[in-house]
Amino acid sequence: MDSDLFHELLYLNILRLQRRKVLRRRKRRWSVHPANRDRNPNGFFWKNFLKLKEDDQKLFALTRMNRPVYNLLLNIISPFLKKPKQQIGVEERVVITLMYLAYGTPFEIIASMHKLGKTTVRNIVLETCEIFWLHLCPIYLSEPTTAQYKDIAADFLKLWNIPNCVGAIDGKHIAIIRPQNSGSLFYNYKKFYSIVLMASCDARYTFTSASIGSYGGQSDGGVFQQTKFGQALLENKLPLPPRAPLWNGSSTDFPHFFVADAAFPLKENLMRPYPGAQLPRNKAIFNYRLSRARRVIENSFGILTARWRVLRKVIDFSPKNCETIVLTCLVLHNFVMLNDHDRWYCPDTFVDTDTADHGILEGEWREDLESVGGALHSISTTRRNASSFAFRLRDFLADYFINQGAVSFQEDRI
């Protein structure tokens, strides 16, 4: 066949294939649906929100922020959300995203409220979350320095009577839509697919680290060792303060450590409870004191989930985008916790508190989550081998709790 004829036929075939693709595509009937052409002034943002935001209670219900915190967020984020010839303004994008994160409302409903297309709302949420995470994370969820870990340890001693503690750790399942061609890469947990969020917090319910993993064929506890934070902790690469005595006058230095439940390994810098039910007095008291300190991570997750209820929905994004959504909720939690000086976001009654007889008065977040199925599912319990040195450290800390570090109410709680 002549070379010119061959190339001409090839070119015609390419044109024919391209034409078929174009014909197969769904043709858009309108650039803007007729029902949405009156978005300004009849969309939710223009008709309702701009009036509602003058009322702190209504603004908080919609965005989880009162006016000072909300305005601060707009000031920080606005420069990064502005685009040339942008038809949907910065504030409307922020409001749409916060409303989605606060309630996990389906995109169809949000789109109808705001008189926008479903795909448009979905893209706005993802893009805004990426901006939130990119620009808030370095300020509100960066790895603590050695000096900051020292401050956290001082808070744990002051608030929870446990020395050298630099944080509490836990892991939670986050439900997601089954990823395409996922095979066994994602957990099929209690009939839903999930990724696992690992996080640590300080003594005042703000998160200090967060990692997300999804690992097929591993135990829940094994996920911790695959996260960046878990690897750094287990390999002693975190900037923890140097060893220090547990009490004044002691000649024995003790490492700084995190507290966790039985799903985590016992390590030099990671304390978990003694196993078993019928325990001798020193071990039972150790477990009580450890669980008391661990309450901060349970409450941190409780506050987070009660305020950002998208985490109790099945998140309809790809796994990578689900990660962005989840991490955005964490960084917004820290942002509000650290800037909400009027305590709208986390009033005293919202978290567990000690009663006069040192019992526990459960926080209001627990009741708030009843309507959405309760708290997030924790990772499963697994047992892991520990070094003899780690066992000796735990025994030393247990001995401290019944001697120099004893508190008056601990005998009544075992």
| Backbone conformation region of residue 285, classed left if phi is above 0, alpha if psi is from -120 to 50, else beta | alpha
Averaged pLDDT, 121-134: 97
The 10s digit of each residue's pLDDT in 208-243 is: 999 887 644 455 556 777 788 888 998 999 999 999
Q: Would the pLDDT of 382 be above 60?
A: no
Quick one: tokens of 243?
Answer: 């060893």
How far is Cα 173 from Cα 198, in angstroms, rounded to an integer?
A: 9
Whether residue 104 contacts residue 310, with contact meaning beta carbons closer than 8 Å, is answered with: yes
**The model's pTM:** 0.88
The residue among 372 and 346 whose pLDDT is bigger is 346
Averaged pLDDT, 261-271: 93
How far is Cα 268 from Cα 279, in angstroms, rounded to an integer?
A: 22
- pLDDT tier at 16 (50, 70, 90 boundaries)? confident
What per-residue confidence (pLDDT) applies to 216? 43
How high does pLDDT run on average in the chain? Answer: 88
Quick one: tokens of 164?
Answer: 């050298």
Averaged pLDDT, 289-318: 96
Averaged pLDDT, 318-337: 95
What per-residue confidence (pLDDT) applies to 215? 47
- pLDDT tier at 187 (50, 70, 90 boundaries)? low
Whether residue 166 contacts residue 258, with contact meaning beta carbons closer than 8 Å, is answered with: yes
5-20 burial, b at 16+ Cβ within 10 Å, e below that, comes to: eeeeeeeeeeeeeeee
Whether residue 182 contacts residue 159, with contact meaning beta carbons closer than 8 Å, is answered with: no
The 10s digit of each residue's pLDDT in 76-123 is: 999 999 888 788 999 999 999 999 999 999 999 999 999 999 999 999
Q: Would the pLDDT of 35 be above 80?
A: no
Q: Would the pLDDT of 10 be above 60?
A: yes
What per-residue confidence (pLDDT) applies to 289? 96
Q: Would the pLDDT of 145 be above 80?
A: yes
Quick one: tokens of 78?
Answer: 């606005």
What per-residue confidence (pLDDT) applies to 84? 82
What per-residue confidence (pLDDT) applies to 259? 98
What per-residue confidence (pLDDT) applies to 363? 95
Terminal alpha carbon distance of the chain: 92
